[in-house]
């Protein structure tokens, strides 16, 4: 094992795949000369040159469309959005072209493309730069949605995403790029659609993904001091979702809390709750509790932002609620 920052794991995954396959290229704002807005493509321009690491104008619709067209013609582009808030400018290319061209062409075209960049809040960035769109993209058939929470998962999942023959939405976090973690030496990938049990437990299942899962870890440490054993599942991939991992855990613990940084209406937690009540209702000893952001645009005020986001204290309260404590 070696220790890498999250940004280094991302750069390493892209570089390894670009050395393996010369149809892969990286395109986006500031990915080349500036080494990436978050330094997640550091050194790649020097190694691969300007034909495979391309700076673009501020035109998400334009370079998303170029990526989709080149993917249909045999390339494997990696399109970086400076944040997924800006993907809304190019979302027509993602939803109406990338996600649908395989079906609409009768299988004559596929679209092996990765759209990657940070999602959700990152401090005081206010309403238009603090949005989580995992559930938006996951709602669309034809897209796969990946949200890693640590460097090792990020590298293995990104390599798998780049090799996938369908479009993948790969969502990171500005607040995780500096995170350090152990990453396996040598070649490895992590299959899409497979969740990971990050912590074994017996009393309650906590399901989460992305950077907000850190609050679940903090809560589990505190609850362990009180003799409450939490099992933590990191979805890693939102779509396809590993329903078996969730159901098997709930059948063991009989209680569930879902922690998601997203607005509460029609989100990933809602989808999980539906499947659990449909497939494991008789195993539940308490109603499922979900923890989300407030149902408002993200505030700029640091005091209000702290109230807007779910935190480990909210997780502790939710766990005690499902345990009737």
> What's the mean pLDDT when you consider all of the chain?
98
Answer whether 241's CB lies under 8 Å from 139's CB.
no
* HSE of 141, CA atoms in CB hemisphere, 13 A: 5
- For 2-183, which CATH class? alpha beta
Domain range annotation of the chain: 2-183, 196-323
**What are 50-74's pLDDT values in tens digits?**
999 999 999 999 999 999 999 999 9
Residues 196-323, CATH architecture: 3-Layer(aba) Sandwich (3.40)
* pLDDT at residue 90 in the model: 96
* pLDDT at residue 102 in the model: 97
Answer whether 279's CB lies under 8 Å from 228's CB.
no
Q: What is the DSSP string of 256-275?
A: EEEE-SS-STT-HHHHHHHH
* HSE of 87, CA atoms in CB hemisphere, 13 A: 26
**Fold match between 2-183 and 196-323?**
yes
Residues 207-224 have a mean pLDDT of 98
Measured CA to CA, the distance from residue 13 to residue 7 in angstroms comes to 10
The CA–CA distances, whole Å, from 236 to 75, 195, 280, 297 equal 26, 6, 22, 25
Measured CA to CA, the distance from residue 126 to residue 49 in angstroms comes to 36
Active-site amino acid positions: 60, 129
* pLDDT at residue 142 in the model: 98
| CA 275 to chain centroid | 20
Residues 71-95 have a mean pLDDT of 97
pTM above 0.95, yes or no: yes
């Amino acid at each position: 094992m070696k220790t890498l920052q999250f940004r280094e794991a991302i750069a390493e995954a892209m570089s390894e795949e670009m050395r393996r396959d010369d149809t892969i290229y990286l395109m986006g704002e500031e990915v080349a000369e500036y080494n990436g807005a978050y330094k997640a493509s550091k050194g790649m321009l020097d190694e691969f040159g300007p034909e495979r690491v391309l700076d673009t104008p501020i035109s998400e619709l334009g370079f998303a469309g170029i990526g989709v067209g080149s993917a249909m013609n045999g390339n494997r582009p990696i399109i970086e959005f400076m944040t997924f808030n800006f993907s809304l400018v190019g979302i027509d290319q993602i939803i109406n072209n990338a996600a649908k061209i395989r079906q609409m062409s009768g299988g004559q075209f596929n679209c092996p493309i990765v759209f990657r960049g940070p999602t959700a809040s990152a401090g005081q960035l206010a309403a238009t730069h603090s949005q989580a769109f995992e559930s938006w993209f996951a709602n669309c058939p034809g897209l796969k949605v990946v949200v890693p929470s640590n460097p090792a998962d990020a590298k293995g999942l990104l390599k798998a995403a780049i090799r996938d023959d369908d479009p993948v939405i790969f969502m990171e976090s500005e607040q995780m790029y500096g995170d350090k973690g152990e990453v396996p030496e040598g070649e490895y990938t992590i299959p899409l659609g497979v969740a990971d049990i990050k912590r074994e437990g017996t009393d309650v299942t906590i399901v989460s993904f992305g950077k907000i899962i850190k609050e679940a870890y903090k809560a589990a440490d505190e609850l362990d001091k009180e003799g409450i054993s939490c099992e933590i599942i990191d979805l890693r991939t939102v779509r396809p979702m590993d329903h078996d991992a969730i159901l098997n855990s709930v059948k063991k613990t009989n209680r569930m809390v879902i922690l998601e940084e997203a607005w509460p209406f029609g989100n990933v937690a809602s989808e999980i709750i539906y499947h659990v009540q449909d497939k494991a209702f008789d195993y539940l000893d308490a109603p499922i509790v979900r923890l989300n952001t407030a149902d408002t645009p993200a505030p700029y005020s640091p005091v209000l932002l702290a109230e807007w986001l779910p935190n480990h204290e909210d997780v502790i309260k939710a766990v005690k609620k499902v345990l009737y404590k």
